[in-house]
Structure 1
Amino acid sequence: MKISAKSENEFLIQVFTKYGFTPDNSALLADTLVDADLRGISSHGIQRLAWYINMIKDHTIEPQNEPLILKETPTSLLVDANQNMGHIASALAMTKLIEKAKNSVVATAVIRNSNHFGTAGYYSRMAAEAGLIGISNTNTRPLVVPTNAKDAFLGSNAFAFTFPGEPHPFVFDGATSVVSGGKIQVLAKKGDPIPGEWAIDGDRQVVKDANEAEDILSAVAFTEKQPGGGVLTLGGNSEENSNYKGFGNSLVVELLTGILAQGSISADTNTGKHDFSQFFMVLDPSFFGDLATLKANAQSMFTRIRNLDHQPGTQIMIPGDREYKHYDENKVHGVSIDDTTADQLAEIAAQCHLSAPQAL
């Protein structure tokens, strides 16, 4: 099923408004989900809506709460998301950091008492579109199994980095694990197998059935009992393939988020208080040289990489290329919605007395 970005956006705004978000916050939340779907990141798009609504119903998310600025200097910011959606506090923090970095070259923010914030790249692109470098991190529920361990402890712990450029900014946005849990969730909804070594069971055996993997991740992420298994770190299941480097990357994000925010580390977000933490940094590259020259040099490097000799039938793509291609195509042809998500949207629409997005 394909729906237009416009109808998706309108539907999401109506739903979020029905659940108590302000008009401005509803529009922001809708934009982040539509943006993810347009870029082909369906794991973080409208398929998340039912999950968000469940968290609203159980008061994990409090839509009426506004984020609070706890501490602020010309170069730093500490924000309490106040148990609302992470998107709202994150957009606030990045907007303020952009202003600060233009005056002070570098600015950082930490957010505590937060929730899921969508795609990390959404906030880093805000900086890039202002001619700045943007960095975004978050911890998550426990999903990821450290090197040689059998139990999940770390979050998928996203890292996004953007650099201003033409015709569009450079964007790297990815989990510090092999994949985010949302990608497995999408495969489970579609009934498709896992194509690579993404998840393991309690005996550290690779799981290929997406529904089995999703059951493992749900048990790990939403219950206090540790059943064993989870998502693998970057590098996969073998220490010989340097999976300890992915483990290290995940730990760096844990330190910058849960530890620096004095909130829960990923391992503890499924016990008692549920709280994620985020970290952001913005840098002004024009301090180091002429911005137009820096952009041109970056594009020259990317062009040289794309034109390297490569395997027949393949294409060398810079991080972000695939998402920009999806964005242009999906703007015209609509975004894809799996059948399970379509059924969920119809149910949500009925509960809210709204019309669900119609297929193109």
Structure 2
Amino acid sequence: MGYVKWSYDTLLRLCHDSFRKFGFDAGESSIITDVLLLSDLYGIESHGMQRMVRYYMGIKKGMIDVHGKPEIIYETPVSAVLDGHGGMGQLIGRHGMEAAIKKAKQSGLAIVTARNSNHYGIAGYYAKMACDEGFIGFSFTNSEAIMVPTFGRMAMLGSNPIACAMPADPFPFFFDASTTVVTRGKLEIYNKSGKPLPEGWALDRNGHPSIDAPDVLKNIVEKNGGGIMPLGGSGETLGGHKGYGFGMVCEIFTSILSSGLTSNRTMQGNRGGICHGFAAIDPGIFGDPAAIRASLSGFLQELRESPKAEGGSRIYTHGEKEIEATTERMKHGIPVNENTMREILEMCEFLGIDFSDYFGEYRPGEKAGMFEANY
């Protein structure tokens, strides 16, 4: 299955108008769209446009409450717990990190957790928010259970990503990674493309390795057993127990501290129940912020200039690829899977939006391969 490229502005209009149709106000629609498209600009397809259908179905089924607003239910000068009341994850996530940043400006650091939320996009978006304010930012989220614990055969933890961003020159340190080998979204992309999964990603219902994307996804949804391996694989030889442990660290900073639902209890009974965690730290509580920034910048440059492996031409530091991808995609367009475009067409029909207002004469599946549009 091929891909079609669209300009950032085209997808921005579509996303914004779609969320307005769902009942979000202009400001809320802009926030949701901003989170979604940052993922595609960074090259993280699993959390970009292809997630539109998930939100569409979540809102349509009532799992995501368009009118659900985050509420602070407990706080101290350096902490807070939010109840998202089933609202849109991106709005709850934005509110949570804004609260952490505000408290960190007063106290030097803050940790905020949220419960009763929904999928909030890429964790790195919220870590970047703190970084843009000159702070060190952390963001965590649990999710529907997809990770099978070491030596297990039932998914018990989510993808449970950990994101960290910190100011540096010439660009910030930016790390955002799931604690599973891959995210569920990656399996969805392989499923849409009709391709077998790479070995070492997933397990069937009996805990055996599987390359069958439809079967693994079906088992996750139906809670039949199986799922995605922890970072490092299913056993201990390559450190799978470490990925499992990192997933638990994320669970502690999300569901446990917020007194919310653990991953294995989310996404049940037409309730999302996803939990998040946010932290903002002012480097100034450790000394001169400029000197700390210079120290990190210097070490990152040493990493880039360190000896390369045979055949290697470049060592990346975390965040470089995302910046380069953004530059390229803003110039040449964002690729979207044609099966995702079919889902968007269905969503537009449901919402009463004219698909051709954004995509002209293009129709999903009518042209194979890479189809350039709006250029």
Q: 5 Å matches for 1:243-262?
A: 243-262=240-259
Query: What displacement does 1:75 show?
Result: 1.5
Look up the match of 1:271.
Answer: 268
Q: Which moved more, 1:294-303 or 1:169-178?
A: 294-303
Distance 1:78 1:199 in 2: 34
1:124 counterpart residue number: 127
- Which residue matches 1:320? 319
Q: 2:300 aligns with which of 278, 296, 302?
A: 302
Instruction: Answer whether contact 2:68 2:88 (CA < 8 A) is retained.
Output: no
1:1-360 equivalences under 5 Å are 1-219=4-222, 226-272=223-269, 273-314=271-312, 315-356=314-355, 357-358=358-359, 359-360=373-374
Q: Deviations over 1:15-59 (max 9, x none)?
A: 001111121111100111111000001111111111111111111
How far apart in 1 are the matches of 2:258 and 2:119? 15
Unmatched 5+ residue regions in structure 2?
A: 360-372
Letter in 2 for 1:160: A
Counterpart AA for 1:271: Q
For the residues of structure 2 that align with 1:17 and 1:298, how far apart are their CA atoms?
Answer: 42
**Deviation digits for residues 323-343 of structure 1, max 9, x if unmatched?**
111111111111110010011
Q: How many Å separate the matches in 2 of 1:153 and 1:327?
A: 34
Determine if contact 1:120/1:138 at 8 Å carries over to the other structure. yes
Alignment RMSD (CA, Å)? 1.5
Gaps of 5+ in 1: 220-225
Which is worse superposed, 282-291 or 311-320? 311-320
Provide Cα deviations, 1:240-260, integer angstroms capped at 9, x if missing partner: 222111111111111221122
SS where residue 172 of structure 1 aligns? strand
Q: Which moved more, 1:263-272 or 1:126-135?
A: 263-272
SS at match of 1:240: coil
Q: For residues 163-183 of structure 1, what are the alpha-carbon distances to aligned partners after superposition, in whole Å with 9 as ceiling and x for unaligned?
A: 111232211101111111111
Q: Match of 1:84, SS?
A: coil
2: CA distance between counterparts of 1:320 and 1:91? 21
How many angstroms apart in 2 are the aligned matches of 1:340 and 1:313? 36
How far apart are the structure 1 equivalents of 2:221 and 2:183?
Answer: 13
Contact 2:70 2:92 in 1 (8 A): yes
Going from structure 1 to structure 2, the CA distance change for 1:91 and 1:270 (only over 3 Å counts) comes to closer
1:263-297 CA-to-partner distances (Å, cap 9, x unmatched) read 11111114334301111111000221222222221
Matched-pair contact (CA < 8 Å) for 1:22–1:64? no
Cα deviations by residue, 1:205-225 (Å, 9 ceiling, x for unpaired)? 222233333333333xxxxxx
Worse-superposed segment, 6-15 or 199-208:
199-208
Give distance in 1, aligned partners of 2:96 and 2:18.
25
> What secondary structure, in the 3-state scheme, does the structure 2 residue paired with 1:241 have?
coil
Cα pair 1:191 1:211 within 8 Å, conserved: no
Query: 3-state DSSP class of the match of 2:195?
Result: coil
Q: Distance in 2 between matches of 1:56 and 1:341?
A: 18
Task: Measure how far apart 1:355 and its partner are.
Answer: 3.4
Mean alpha-carbon deviation: is it higher for 60-69 or for 26-35? 60-69
Aligned length: 354
TM-score normalised by L of structure 1: 0.94
The code of the aligned residue for 2:227 comes to G
Within 2, Cα distance between the matches of 1:311 and 1:217?
Answer: 39
1:61-80: CA deviations, max 9, x gaps? 00022211222332212111
The one-letter code of the counterpart of 1:19 is F
Corresponding residue of 2:370 = none
Q: TM-score scaled to structure 2, two decimals?
A: 0.91
Give the residue type in structure 1 aligned to 2:225: G
Percent of aligned pairs sharing the same letter: 35
Cα distance in 2, alignment partners of residues 210 and 308 from structure 1: 39
Tell me the distance in 2 between the aligned counterparts of 1:348 and 1:187. Answer: 21
CA distance in 1, matches of 2:119, 2:11: 20
SS in 1 for 2:228: strand
Contact 2:64 2:272 in 1 (8 A): no
Q: Which moved more, 1:24-33 or 1:309-318?
A: 309-318
Q: 312-321 or 250-259, which moves further after superposition? A: 312-321
Shift of 1:196: 4.4
**Cα drift, residue 350 of structure 1:** 2.4
Shift of residue 202, structure 1, vs aligned partner: 2.0
The answer to whether the 8 A contact 2:170-2:297 is kept is no
SS in 2 for 1:216: helix
